[in-house]
Structure 1
C-alpha cells in the first residue's frame, strides 16, 4: 500500500541519483534540492536543456559511473535513486547494493514522497499526458490547492517538473506506461494509486516492451481497474480503445471530445472553437456549464489537452474563473509543440514526438494551425520504434507533412534486438 511520506531535510541529508540527466530524474533532483538536501548525480552524458536546468539548480553532476562516489569521508548517501533503464549491472548501483544503502527507482520515490494516495490524480496515455498533467497542476496551484506533481518535461516558465505538495492536497503525476526498470518490467503508472484518472490516448507504442497491441492495452486495463468506486475517470471519447477499456470501470466516467462528431461515446465535455468572443469548454450535461478560455499554446492537439485538464478540474470542484485564469497564463512544456523560431516566412517547432502516434498527432496539430504551410518534418524515433514490429504504426504517421527527413539515428548499445537505421526506415 502506498503511504504518503512528507519529506523534510537539510544538507545533512544526501541523495545520489544514478542517471540524473533524464527529464524526470533531474526533476526529482531539483525537488530534493528545494527541500534542502545535498544532491549529487551521475550519468553517461549531459546535454541541454537538462544540463542547463541542473546547472541552474546548482546540482553537482559527474560524468560516467564510479562506485567510489558513494563513499565520501566515510559517509554514504541516505538515499540512492536509480534510473531503472540504466541496467542492473551499473557500477554505482551494484556498489549501493553492496553497501546496503537504500536504493529506489524514481517511480518508487514519486510513490512515497509525491503521490498522496487519498487524492491521487494520474494522467495517462500514449501522448498528451505531459502537457495535460502540467495544466492540471497549474490549475490546482492557481486555485490555492498546494498540489504535488510530476510531469515529464521542462516547463517554459521555470516551474519545476517535480514538487511535493501539502499533506492534505491533491497530487497529479504523469503516468508513464513504460517499464519501471530492467528488473521490474511493470508499467510505471501501476505504482501511482489513482483515485482520479485522465486517459488521453491509447494507441500502441513501445513495441520493445509491448510486442502486441493487446499487451499494450492490457497495461491500461490494469490501471483502470485500480480506480476505486468513489473515484473518477476523465476519458477521451475520440479514442475507441479508451471507450472500450472504461466500460468495466468501477467508478463514474466523464467523457470529453474536441470534436463531438468523431466521438465513440457521448461526450460530457466538448470544445466549441467557434464560440464568440472566445472558444469555450462546454459541459453538455443536465448541469451545463460554459467556460470561455484564452490559450498561449499552439495546436488543436493542445486544445484537447487543455479541455481534459479543465474538465477534470471542474469535476473536482474548482471554480470556472480559476480554470480560465490558469489556462490563460499556462505557457506549456518545452519540446511539446514549442515554437523555437518564427519570422514572416518560417516557423521552427520542436516536439518530443519520438514515436509514430506522437508524430502523427503533432503534425496534425501543426497542420491545423498552419493549413497552407509547407511542412518539413525531421524525425528520429525512440529505440522501441526502430524495430520491425513497429513498422505498421508508421502508416500515415507523416500524412500531414509535405516532406520527411530522417537524420543519422543515435547509435544504440549492442543487443540481441535488431534495430533499423535511418536508411532502412526510409526504405521501409
Structure 2
C-alpha cells in the first residue's frame, strides 16, 4: 500500500495528512479546486502533484496504480472522482478513519478540540513537547512557525492532533475527532458553529459530549472553565482539570502585561504561581498556553519547564501573523471567521499594536467565507464583533454555488457599526476592495485581514499595492 490518491488534497487537514504520508514513504497524488497558500506551497515544496479540479481524466491514467484513496469532507457524494474510485473498487477512507486505522494506534494521542483556538493550542502543545525533548508526532490544520510544516512523524510516545467537530465525509457522518483515539484531551470552548450540518446548539454540543466519553480512563480531560463547557461535559470517570480566569479553577490567569515583544502571563497552576513570557499576543493565547500547561502538568511534567518551553513558541501561520510593514502600513493575516474569533482577534491586535503605540488605527478587513459566516444566523454577533476596530471593510459573502438563502446582511452589519462610531465599507470583488483600502489606508495604520480562505489573493495584492508594485 504505497500509492495513495487524495480527493480534496488542499484542505488544511488533508494537506497535512498528504505531507505526513509523503514523509513515511508513500507516493501521493491528489486533486482540488482550491489550491492556495500556505498549504499549496507546502505540498509543492514536498514534490506532491496537485491536479486542478475534479475529473475522470485525472484518474484514468493512474487508476491501476492506486492502492487506496482518501476522500475529503468537502467532497460530495456526486463528485466525479469519488464516484469513479468507488465504481472501480478502490479501497477508500476518510482522513480521520485512515488516521485511526493506520497511524494513531501506535501512539498516546493528545487531542485538542473546541470551537475556538484549536490550531494554536495544538501547535503550542506540539512545540512544548518538542522543546522538552519528547519528540512528538503531530497533525495540525495550520502550520506552526516552529516547524514550518503542519505534520511530523516520529518515534516519540505522543501524537498531538487537532480535533475538529465537523463531520468526516459523505460516507462517514461522524465528527472527525471521534476517530482519534484520545488518551488525553483539551476542550477549549463550545459555541454554536457549523450551522450547515448542525441544526441547533443542542445537537452541536452533543458532539463534544460524545467525544468526552471516548477519552481514555487513564488520561486527563482539560476543560475551559465556563458555564457552557461545564454544563455540557459531565463527570464520566476521566480525571478533569479546569482552566480559565476564575480563582476556583485548577489553573487560572491572574493577569497579563506587555513587555517589548513579549506578552507576560501571570498564572496559578494547582496552587503554584508562575510567570512566563509568550511571543504571541492576546488574552486568548494566554488561555491557550494555560490549557497546555494544565494538560502537561497533569501528565507529570514540571510546570516551570513547560512554561519555559512555551517561551520559544513562535506562533502559527495565518493566526495573527504579522506579514510586515509597507510604506508605513502594517499588515496582519488571520484565519478568524466565527464572530467570537473575529471579536477576540480584533481585541488582541488592538491591545498589542494600537494601545502600545506601534500603530495609530486598526482597519479590520473581513471575508464571510465559512459555511456559518456566510449565513445571517450571527448577524447581531457580527454587528458587535468589530467594535474595537477603527474601521471595518467587509466583502460580500463568498459564493460557493450552494444557493444559501439566509445570506449575511453585510450592509446591515455596517449600518449597526455606525452606532458605535465605526466607519464601514462593503466591497463586491477584489478590485473594489483594493480601491477601498487604497483610499483609506494611511501611514501608521494596521490592516487586519480575516478569512478562512485565501480571500481571493487580496492580502498579497494589497501588499503589492502598498509597495507600489500593483
Question: What is the correspondence of 1:7-406 to structure 2 with a 5 Å cutoff?
Answer: 13-72=2-61, 75-116=64-105, 119-166=108-155, 169-237=157-225, 239-257=226-244, 259-260=245-246, 266-273=248-255, 279-280=264-265, 282-285=267-270, 288-320=271-303, 322-342=305-325, 346-370=329-353, 372=355, 373-381=360-368, 382-406=370-394
State which drifts further: 20-29 or 266-275.
266-275
Q: CA deviation at 1:406?
A: 0.8
Alignment CA distance shift 1:354-1:66 (3 Å): same
State which drifts further: 125-134 or 306-315.
306-315
Q: CA deviation at 1:148?
A: 2.2
Alignment CA distance shift 1:343-1:292 (3 Å): farther
Alignment CA distance shift 1:346-1:106 (3 Å): same
CA distance in 2, matches of 1:323, 1:394: 36
Alignment CA distance shift 1:308-1:342 (3 Å): farther
Q: CA RMSD in A?
A: 2.7
Higher strand share: 2
Alignment CA distance shift 1:99-1:307 (3 Å): same
CA distance in 2, matches of 1:276, 1:401: 20
TM-score (norm 2): 0.79
Question: Where do 5+ consecutive residues of structure 2 fail to align?
Answer: 417-470
2:399 aligns with 411
CA distance in 2, matches of 1:20, 1:274: 40
CA distance in 1, matches of 2:269, 2:126: 24
Q: CA deviation at 1:246?
A: 2.9
Q: CA deviation at 1:330?
A: 1.2
Alignment CA distance shift 1:17-1:424 (3 Å): farther
State which drifts further: 197-206 or 146-155.
146-155
Residue deviations 1:7-48 (CA, integer Å, cap 9, x gap): xx7xxx111111111121111111111112211111113222
Question: Where do 5+ consecutive residues of structure 1 fail to align?
Answer: 1-8
Alignment CA distance shift 1:47-1:421 (3 Å): farther
Q: CA deviation at 1:396?
A: 2.2
State which drifts further: 243-252 or 305-314.
243-252
1:4 aligns with none
CA distance in 2, matches of 1:17, 1:28: 9
TM-score (norm 1): 0.86
On the 8 A contact 2:254/2:267 being kept in 1, the answer is yes
